Each structure stands twice: as C-alpha cells, then as structure tokens.
Chain A
Amino acid sequence: MAGFSGDETAPFFGFLGAAAALIFSCMGAAYGTAKSGVGVASMGVMRPELVMKSIVPVVMAGVLGIYGLIIAVIISTGINPKAKSYYLFDGYAHLSSGLSCGLAGLSAGMAIGIVGDAGVRANAQQPKLFVGMILILIFAEALAFAQSRRFMDCELYQTLGHGNGRDLSCSFVL
C-alpha cells in the first residue's frame, strides 16, 4: 500500500461524480437534440429553406454533452490517491460537483429542447421571431454554462495550489 494516502472508499464517490456529470449532461443533450430535431423535421416539410437556420437549438444542445465530457474528464483525472491524498471530503466534493453540473446540464437540455421545438415551428410562420428564439435559447444554455464554468474555475483554483482541498467556498456551489 506504499504511496496510497487517503480514505479507501473515497474514489467510489469521486468516480460516481464523474459518471453523474456525463450521464445527466448526455440525457439533457439527447432530449434537446431529439425534441428540437422533431420540430425542425415537421417544420421543414412546408418550409425547407428554413431548416439550416433552425439547426441552432440542436447545436446548443450538443454543446451540453461537451460540458459534461470536460467535467467528467477533469474529475476522473483528479482522482489519484498516489499523487495527492484523496480523502472522503474530496470524494464527496467530486460527487456533488458532478451531480450539480450534470443536473444543470439535464435541465438546460430540457429547456433548450422545448424552446427549440416551439421556436422553430413559430419561426416558420413568423420570421421576426428568430431573434427572440435565439435569446431564449441563450438564457437556457447559460444555466449549464455558468455551472460548469464555476466548477472549472474551482478546480483550477485547487490544482494551482492556492486551496488545500478543504476550501468550502469552492467545492459546494449553490
């Protein structure tokens, strides 16, 4: 056991945090993509020229999956009990970070899906609504973006050595 410092079962919670970050973000991305994709396909039957413009909600939903991927990789490469001691505190912190980022991604994906579906159908009938739809989608995307940005700043703060791993103001985000 030379070189292993920290609690034995802490990696369980850490890895589950990484898993939660990716799984829930992918659920949100899938919901957003599918729901707005169905709207685009239905609308495109009547107005095929608007389809390429209406792919915006699909792209925004796909980006949520990328947020989840980045967070999951950051968490799972941070679990290294041989290099840096990994206590239950760190395990629980990673679990909460992963859950918060993942569930934020899930909710943002659901919002983007429903708004995208309604927006592209309305845009086909009233072209002036395009900008309004984009604004609402940006607000929905900001839910996930703000959460993952906060997490990434927090991790950088810890790894650069300014925190000692027990900085409560960092790990538990509201």
Chain B
Amino acid sequence: MSSSAIIAAHSSSWAAALVRISPYTFSAIGIAVSIGVSVLGAAWGIYITGSSLIGAAIKAPRITSKNLISVIFCEAVAIYGVIVAIILQTKLESVPKASIYEPESLRAGYAIFASGLIVGFANLVCGLCVGIIGSSCALSDAQNSSLFVKILVIEIFGSALGLFGVIVGIIMSAQATWPSKF
C-alpha cells in the first residue's frame, strides 16, 4: 500500500482526488448510466415516432401496421442498453478490502464507468435519430406509399449508431480485470 501512496503523491491534483473514490462507485454509476440513458433514448425516439404516426394515420390508416417497424427500431436501442448493463455487472468482482484502491482495481472501475457512459450516450443519440427519421417516414408514407422502404433504408443507417456504442462498450469492458483475491 505504501507504493500506491508514493505514486499518488507524485501525481496531479486530479489524481489526489480520484484515488480516494472507490472503483465500485465508478462501476455502479457506469452500469446505471448504460441502462438509464439508453432507455431514455429509446423512449424519446418512440414518442417522437409514435405521435407523428398516430397523427398521420388519421387520414391514412393503412400506414399504421407497416410503420410500427420504426417503433421497434427505437425499442432495440433500449435492449442494447439492458444487454450491456448485464454484461458489465457480471464484470464486477469483489476484491479483498486491502486491494480496493490498488491501481489495477482502480483501472477496472474506470473501464466499467467509461464503457457504461459510451453505451448510454451512443444509444441516446441513436434513439433520437431513429425517432426523428421514423416520424418523417410515417408522414411521407401517408402521402406517397412508395416512399416507405426508401426512408427505412435511412433509418437502418441511423440504428447502426447504437451498435457502434455496444461494440466499443464490450471491447472496453474486456479491460476490466480486477486483482486476484490472494
């Protein structure tokens, strides 16, 4: 433990504050952000799409069943958040009290935190994007039914952003290795 005190004393003022925060705090916040903010993005997208869809369907009721696909694309974003939150919480291990503030466990805490942040906010913007495009898809489909498939292609580009977040989150969570219990 003395060597970690030596390292901390030579580091910056940020380090002096950061080494006193438990890595489990960072991990817990990361896991919470990954699911909470993802679900926020999904909900935001769903209400943007849903309200446009219902309004457009007043004059063109034929569009309702096809355009539910946009709502499903938004929902997928929330499912990505749940999956990554479950993966991250299986990466948590309990370490003996003496090694909670060791450099390796600090690094594991930071990795889970950053991974959760990435997944949460990438899914937030993805849900928003898919929601906005889904609403335009419903409105243009109501006026000209040949447009549905073409605008759906744009929506697929939008939903790839959530997948990027999940990929990077999972790659980064592989760095969360805690010190062994001995």
* In the complex, B110 has a CB within 8 A of chain A: yes
Q: Are B110 and A26 in contact, with the CB atoms below 8 A?
A: no
* In the complex, A144 has a CB within 8 A of chain B: no
* In the complex, B139 has a CB within 8 A of chain A: yes
* In the complex, A163 has a CB within 8 A of chain B: no
Report how many residues on chain A are interfacial, defined by Cβ distance under 8 Å. Answer: 49
Q: Tell me the smallest distance from the CB of B169 to a CB of chain A, in Å.
A: 9
A-chain residues with CB within 8 Å of residue B18 when the two chains form the complex = 8-9, 12
User: Complex: how many Å from CA A132 to CA B146?
Assistant: 28
Q: Are A44 and B103 in contact, with the CB atoms below 8 A?
A: no
A-chain residues with CB within 8 Å of residue B10 when the two chains form the complex = 7
Q: Are B147 and A44 in contact, with the CB atoms below 8 A?
A: yes
User: Complex: how many Å from CA A23 to CA B167?
Assistant: 13
Q: Tell me the smallest distance from the CB of B3 to a CB of chain A, in Å.
A: 6
* In the complex, B150 has a CB within 8 A of chain A: yes
* In the complex, B91 has a CB within 8 A of chain A: no
Q: Are A15 and B147 in contact, with the CB atoms below 8 A?
A: no
* In the complex, A165 has a CB within 8 A of chain B: no
Report how many residues on chain B are interfacial, defined by Cβ distance under 8 Å. Answer: 56
Looking at chain B's contact residues, is the secondary structure mostly helix, strand, loop, or mixed?
helix
* In the complex, B83 has a CB within 8 A of chain A: no
Interfacial residues of chain B within 104-155, with CB under 8 A of chain A in the complex: 104, 106-107, 110-111, 113-115, 117-118, 121-122, 125-126, 128-129, 132-133, 136-137, 139-140, 143-144, 146-147, 150-151, 153-155
Q: Are B157 and A58 in contact, with the CB atoms below 8 A?
A: yes
Which of the 9-residue segments A48-56, A123-131, A135-143, A150-158 touches chain B? Answer: A48-56
B-chain residues with CB within 8 Å of residue A16 when the two chains form the complex = 114
Q: Are A69 and B114 in contact, with the CB atoms below 8 A?
A: no
User: Complex: how many Å from CA A26 to CA B164?
Assistant: 8
B-chain residues with CB within 8 Å of residue A27 when the two chains form the complex = 121, 125
* In the complex, A112 has a CB within 8 A of chain B: no
Q: Which of A51, A66, A69 contacts B150 (CB 8 A)?
A: A51
* In the complex, B160 has a CB within 8 A of chain A: yes
Q: Are B175 and A79 in contact, with the CB atoms below 8 A?
A: yes
User: Complex: how many Å from CA A77 to CA B171?
Assistant: 8
B-chain residues with CB within 8 Å of residue A4 when the two chains form the complex = 103-104
Q: Chain A 47-76, CB within 8 Å of chain B: the 1/0 string?
A: 010011001001101100110110011001
Q: Which of B106, B115, B165 contacts A9 (CB 8 A)?
A: B106
Q: Are B157 and A41 in contact, with the CB atoms below 8 A?
A: no
Q: Chain B 3-20, CB within 8 Å of chain A: the 1/0 string?
A: 110011011101100110
Residues of B within 8 A of A (CB): 3-4, 7-8, 10-12, 14-15, 18-19, 102-104, 106-107, 110-111, 113-115, 117-118, 121-122, 125-126, 128-129, 132-133, 136-137, 139-140, 143-144, 146-147, 150-151, 153-155, 157-158, 160-161, 164-165, 167-168, 171-172, 175, 179
Q: A9-B11, A42-B140, A73-B171 are in contact. List 5 more A-B contacts (CB 8 A).
A: A16-B114, A34-B132, A45-B147, A68-B164, A80-B175
Residues of A within 8 A of B (CB): 1, 4, 6-9, 11-13, 15-16, 18-19, 22-23, 26-27, 29-31, 33-34, 37-38, 40-42, 44-45, 48, 51-52, 55, 58-59, 61-62, 65-66, 68-69, 72-73, 76-77, 79-81, 88
